[in-house]
């Protein structure tokens, strides 16, 4: 009776390719050096023999799993699926594998991070997820760097990459003011997050500089249902706003749906709306939303570079801000349209 055929090893590949076993190892180790000719011979021999390198065995030798944990709170907002796809591709291009975990109401952040530590990941990226001091200390003790993506914290042990949210809030609000609007409201992002607070700070700074008082400021919590309720509340007022800065495109879409389909108002004829993020849906003709663009590709490149440098012990934690431009579309009425 035939048994299981013996596993093809690096020694077999080296013998067929006419190179040393160490040369085979270099060819299949991301970042290692091997001549083009050696790579060609080794890969041809590996293909002929059906050889696959033993990643688990290599991790035992190097002490690295080459696995990065990605933790995200929710994917309803279009910004995060786009960001996670870009993060995954960027990390894979650098020879790392990805574990994606959701941290939501049923799986709290501490549980997810503890599980990632059990997987012995080389690093962790959290997208709009806060880290407690205790969790940060656990990761630091384990030698696992953490980079916060699109979320800031005061903890100096944590790296972070965000948009310049204060500047973005000022830019969005200033655009509405320059368009001639004076009764302006802010549909705020969740005030428990740095992004929501900072965009609200930028809104207030621009309003104060213009000598204006906000019509209303309501926390939409970055959630569609909450934003729908907030929009109804704003426009039930006798002094309803003539312009609204929504702290995310996701909430701006909810606002637009209420204005157009529930209240029968024209955008931008009756109300101007500006968002924040510039997700793909913002450019669709059904919304054509004026918004502040988060430069997600730059943010991803900086996040990956920062994390991998820390994995390699090449630098301390850093807090980086990226400035995003205003993207003008059709949801803001300008002076010459009045």
Q: Are 268 and 275 contacting, i.e. CB atoms less than 8 angstroms apart? A: no
Task: Give 12's contacts (C-beta < 8 A, 6+ positions apart).
Answer: 49, 51
pLDDT for the residue numbered 106: 52
pLDDT for the residue numbered 60: 45
pLDDT for the residue numbered 199: 98
Q: Where are the domains of the chain?
A: 10-53, 65-163+296-322, 165-294+326-337
pLDDT for the residue numbered 336: 65
Closest CA to 247 of 323, 329, 166, 178: 166
Q: Are 149 and 303 contacting, i.e. CB atoms less than 8 angstroms apart? A: yes
pTM reported for the whole predicted model: 0.81
pLDDT for the residue numbered 64: 61
Q: Are 71 and 125 contacting, i.e. CB atoms less than 8 angstroms apart? A: yes
**217 strand-pairing partners:** 186
Q: How far is CA 272 from the centre of its chain?
A: 27
Q: How many CA atoms lie within 13 A of 326 on its CB side?
A: 19
pLDDT for the residue numbered 3: 52
- Calpha distance 60→300 (Å, rounded): 29
292: which DSSP letter? E
Q: Are 227 and 251 contacting, i.e. CB atoms less than 8 angstroms apart? A: yes
pLDDT for the residue numbered 1: 42
Closest CA to 229 of 266, 205, 254: 254
C-alpha dist (Å) from residue 247 to 30, 195, 218, 254, 282: 40, 9, 11, 12, 14
Q: Would you say the CATH fold of 165-294+326-337 matches that of 65-163+296-322?
A: yes
Which tokens sit at 314? 């090449």
Topology of the domain covering 165-294+326-337:
Rossmann fold (3.40.50)
Q: How many CA atoms lie within 13 A of 225 on its CB side?
A: 0
- Calpha distance 271→252 (Å, rounded): 12
Per-residue pLDDT of the chain (338 residues; tens, 9 = 90+): 455 567 777 788 889 889 888 888 788 776 677 888 998 998 898 888 877 765 555 554 445 678 898 888 888 889 999 999 999 999 998 888 888 888 865 567 778 888 877 878 899 998 877 777 888 888 888 888 999 999 888 888 889 999 999 999 999 999 999 999 999 999 999 999 999 999 999 999 999 999 999 999 999 999 999 999 999 999 999 999 999 999 999 999 999 999 999 999 999 999 999 999 999 999 999 999 999 999 999 999 999 999 999 998 887 889 999 999 999 999 999 866 65
pLDDT for the residue numbered 105: 53
Domain covering 65-163+296-322 assigned CATH 3.40.50.2300 in the classification: yes
Q: Are 169 and 248 contacting, i.e. CB atoms less than 8 angstroms apart? A: no
pLDDT for the residue numbered 108: 79
- Give the length of the chain: 338
- Is omega for the bond preceding 154 within 30 degrees of 0, making it cis? no
Which tokens sit at 11? 């020694």
pLDDT for the residue numbered 306: 94
Q: Are 316 and 160 contacting, i.e. CB atoms less than 8 angstroms apart? A: no
Instruction: List the beta strands (DSSP E) in 190-229.
Output: 217-219
């Amino acid at each position: 009776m035939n048994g299981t055929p013996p596993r093809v090893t690096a020694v077999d590949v080296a013998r067929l390719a006419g190179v040393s076993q160490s040369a085979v190892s270099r060819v299949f180790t991301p970042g290692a050096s091997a001549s083009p000719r050696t790579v060609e011979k080794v890969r041809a021999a590996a293909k002929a023999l059906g050889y696959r390198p033993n990643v688990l065995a290599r991790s035992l030798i190097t002490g690295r799993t080459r696995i990065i944990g990605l933790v995200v709170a929710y994917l309803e907002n279009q910004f995060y699926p786009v960001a996670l796809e870009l993060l995954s591709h960027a990390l894979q291009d650098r020879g790392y594998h990805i574990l994606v975990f959701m941290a939501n109401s049923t799986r709290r952040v501490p549980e997810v991070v503890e599980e990632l530590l059990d997987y012995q990941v080389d690093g962790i990226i959290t997208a709009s997820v806060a880290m407690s001091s205790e969790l940060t200390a656990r990761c630091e003790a384990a030698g696992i760097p953490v980079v916060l993506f699109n979320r800031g914290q005061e903890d100096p042990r944590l790296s972070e990459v965000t948009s310049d949210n204060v500047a973005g809030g000022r830019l969005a609000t200033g655009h509405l003011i320059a368009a001639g609007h004076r009764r302006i409201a802010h549909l705020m992002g969740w005030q428990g997050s740095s992004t929501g607070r900072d965009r609200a700070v930028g809104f207030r700074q621009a309003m104060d500089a213009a000598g204006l008082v906000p019509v209303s400021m309501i926390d939409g919590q970055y959630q569609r249902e909450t934003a729908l309720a907030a929009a109804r509340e704003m426009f039930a007022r006798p002094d309803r706003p003539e312009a609204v800065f929504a702290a995310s495109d996701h909430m701006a879409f909810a606002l637009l749906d209420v204005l157009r389909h529930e209240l029968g108002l024209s955008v931008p004829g009756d109300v101007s709306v500006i968002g924040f993020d510039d997700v793909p849906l913002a450019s669709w003709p059904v919304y054509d939303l004026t918004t502040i663009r988060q430069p997600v590709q730059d943010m991803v490149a900086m996040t990956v570079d920062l994390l991998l440098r820390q994995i390699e012990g090449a630098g301390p934690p850093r807090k980086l801000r990226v400035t995003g431009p205003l993207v003008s579309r059709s949801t803001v009425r300008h002076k010459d349209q009045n």
